[in-house]
Amino acid sequence: MKAFSEVLAELAAGGTVSVGDDWTQGRTLFGGLSAALAAADGTRAAGEGQQTPPPLRSAQFAFIGPAAGPVTVSSTVLRRGRSAVFVQSDLMTEQGLALRGILTFGSARPSAMAHQDHPPPPARPIAGCPSLHGPGGGPGFAAHFDVRPADGEIWFGRNPDGTVERKAGKPDLILWARHRDPAAGLDPIALLALGDIPPPAAMRLMAAPAPISTMTWMVDFLTPPTPAPAEDDGWRLLRSTAEVVTQGYCSQSMSLWDSAGRPLMAGRQNVAVFG
């Protein structure tokens, strides 16, 4: 297995990354890792010629094709203004363009306005939530994260014959999650990988397992990155809610908070569902 921090280090060294099946999601690279790679390279481009780039404020990703085999990331500054930088980041494979991201970086500016109304949902204490996949982690990319349902809802059940059955319910997923890699960090790049962990909430409506594929993902970073306090153990609360599911597509909202209830990220995802 290649840890998250090792993948980022490989990208920084040469712009190309090769990972094994432990980072796959079906027949492609895990979408959260693809987005994180684009953000990492885009941050490098935004910071060229500066001591530090402005904070990443927003990002839009289009998952255009499967990312299989070695992936190469390239970034282009589209515009550099007095306080904002817009960057395009592309993931390329031998099969062509896999992902295109548009990243928006923005410096803080003086403002008399301050408002926050994005509270986290009720959640059970982390210690009382069993791991979703057990101590060894789950299949593919899931082995790199510790994931725990935070609302007591069971997503999967195991029948006496060993087969796995999805549990129907409200299309809403709430979970605790963190990187297993202690060097993964807590910045927006690490948050992107965490933010894509939940399967589409529409799976709660499925009568049987069926393929799913993210089409587009938009995220806003709500709190500029600051040095993590010593007591921050990396746990993040995530919520994914399917709002409209029709004609084979799901439009869902997604949010992420730290363990103190501070909102860190909010977004929307459009997902193709084949069930």
Residue 162 has pLDDT above 60, yes or no: no
Long-range contacts at 78-81 (CB < 8 A, ≥ 24 apart)? 78/102
What's the fold here for domain 4-107+125-225+234-273?
Porin (2.40.160)
CA distances from 58 to 102, 117, 137, 184 (A): 8, 18, 30, 20
pLDDT of residue 155: 59
Q: Where exactly are the structural domains of the chain?
A: 4-107+125-225+234-273
Residue 245 has pLDDT above 70, yes or no: yes
pLDDT of residue 25: 87
**What's the predicted TM-score (pTM) here?**
0.91
Residue 259 has pLDDT above 70, yes or no: yes
**What would the pLDDT profile of 2-50 be if each residue is shown by its tens digit?**
999 999 999 999 999 999 899 998 889 999 999 999 999 999 999 987 7
Residue 272 has pLDDT above 50, yes or no: yes
**What would the pLDDT profile of 107-159 be if each residue is shown by its tens digit?**
888 888 988 888 999 999 998 888 887 666 666 899 999 999 998 765 555 44
Average pLDDT over residues 42-62: 91
Average pLDDT over residues 254-260: 93
pLDDT of residue 100: 98
Average pLDDT over residues 248-257: 95
**What would the pLDDT profile of 209-242 be if each residue is shown by its tens digit?**
777 889 999 999 997 656 556 677 899 999 999 9
Q: Please check whether residue 249 is in contact with residue 216, taking contact to mean a CB–CB distance below 8 angstroms.
A: no
**What would the pLDDT profile of 180-203 be if each residue is shown by its tens digit?**
999 999 899 999 999 999 888 888
Question: Rounded to 5 degrees, what angle do the CA atoms 141, 236, 195 make?
Answer: 45
CA terminus-to-terminus distance, the chain: 32
